[in-house]
Structure 1
Amino acid sequence: MRRDGLHARLRAATDPAHRALEAGLDWQARVATLPGYRDLLARLHGFHASWEHAIGAQLADEPFLAPRRRLALLAADLDHLGLAPAAVVALPRPEPIALDGPAAAMGALYVLEGSTLGGQLIGRHIAGLHGFSETGLTYYRAHGPRTGAMWAAFRTRLEDFADDPAAETALTGAAVATFAAMRAWLCAPHAMPAAG
């Protein structure tokens, strides 16, 4: 009997948490207005500020992680939407989950990197809605035409953990926890600063 690859097992294990995030986020309603879009980006900025740092500390592979970091893209989009740089730096951040080692870091990164796939659709929707081209959409455009290649490279790297049950358990647990933490942070009713 053929055993599914790690990516397929991870996708199945995280599916309930992924669906809960999508249901709670209601992104189409959130991006329908520019203030709503700015609020969503501000929340994403806080999340990435915490998570990218935590992932980087445990993954310890900056050449692999650097092109996948999107914090600067969020800052550029927020600047385009009128949020002053000092206000961007001061945005609230959640505490990241405890990541213990490279496998857990890859599990958390699976959530962030996976969002670049759906981000292509969201970016096109926002572009049509608000008339943006590239500016204001760099977070959702992410890797642009390289999105498929970047995802394939990530999946190849993911398979490095496929033959280690303990690593797979850590990776899967971190991915599920990251989806849950992202839902709690992005869907919470806290206020974000206005533009200016």
Structure 2
Amino acid sequence: MSRDGLHARLRAATDPAHRALEASLDWQARVATLDGYRDLLGRLYGFHAVWESAIAAGLADESFLAPRRRLALVASDLDHLGLPPSAITALPKPVSPMLDGPAAATGALYVLEGSTLGGQLIGRHIAGLHGFSSAGLAYYRAHGPAAGAMWAAFRKRLEIFGDDPVAEAALTGAAVSTFSAMRAWLCDGPETPAAT
């Protein structure tokens, strides 16, 4: 099966969970104030702290994952907004998921990597709203002008699983679970554990 076929199936299978996250997040209202923006970044920090580690363990390919890690970017934004390093590392974190192997890890990474595309729009909105130039926007600017190329490389990576229905099922299940876990963590509060 082609790369586009797998990506189209993955996008369709995750669409309800993706839409639920977007509807619940209400990011424009949350970033309308600097306090709200800082709170959202704090939630994102906690999520990335555990999910990036779980993805790394399941993927076992640091050369592919390293340029896609965003934990340090969100930490630098929080630092710019006045949170000291000790407060950043003490932020609440969800329960770590279990991602069994490369297919599941790739499904979780699909959610995080896909968010870099919409993040470009969000970053521009925050820049205009709060007068930031680049400092304070590292998380949402992520790959910057390379976002399209990074996404294309990720989609090419999906081809590995295109002819394996078992791997595709693991990938798709992990992607849906990641969207749901992100929604629970970002929108419901610290007491909600991440889905596995």
Helix, strand or coil for the counterpart of 2:188?
A: coil
* Match of residue 127 from structure 1: 127
Q: Does the 8 A contact of 1:5 with 1:159 survive in 2? A: no
Q: Does the 8 A contact of 1:97 with 1:177 survive in 2? A: no
Helix, strand or coil for the counterpart of 1:187?
A: helix
* Match of residue 30 from structure 2: 30
Question: Is residue 20 of structure 1 aligned with residue 20 of structure 2?
Answer: yes
Q: Which string of whole-angstrom CA distances, capped at 9 and with x for unpartnered residues, describes residues 48-88 of structure 1?
A: 00000000001000000000000000000000001110000
- Structure 2: gaps of 5 or more residues: 192-196
Q: Does the 8 A contact of 1:40 with 1:186 survive in 2? A: yes
Paired residues for 1:25-174 under 5 Å: 25-174=25-174
CA-CA distance at 1:95 after TM superposition? 1.1
Runs of 4+ in 1 over 3 A off after TM superposition: none
- Tell me the distance in 2 between the aligned counterparts of 1:181 and 1:25: 12
Aligned residue type for 2:58: Q
CA-CA distance at 1:98 after TM superposition? 1.8
How many pairs are equivalent? 190
The sequence identity of aligned pairs, in percent, is: 80
TM-score (norm 2): 0.94
- Structure 1 residues 57 and 115: alpha-carbon distance in aligned structure 2, compared to 1, 3 A threshold: same
Helix, strand or coil for the counterpart of 1:134?
A: coil
Q: Does the 8 A contact of 2:3 with 2:159 survive in 1? A: no
Q: Does the 8 A contact of 1:58 with 1:102 survive in 2? A: yes
- Structure 1 residues 125 and 163: alpha-carbon distance in aligned structure 2, compared to 1, 3 A threshold: same
CA-CA distance at 1:99 after TM superposition? 0.7
- Tell me the distance in 1 between the aligned counterparts of 2:36 and 2:93: 18
Aligned residue type for 1:120: Q
- Tell me the distance in 2 between the aligned counterparts of 1:3 and 1:179: 21
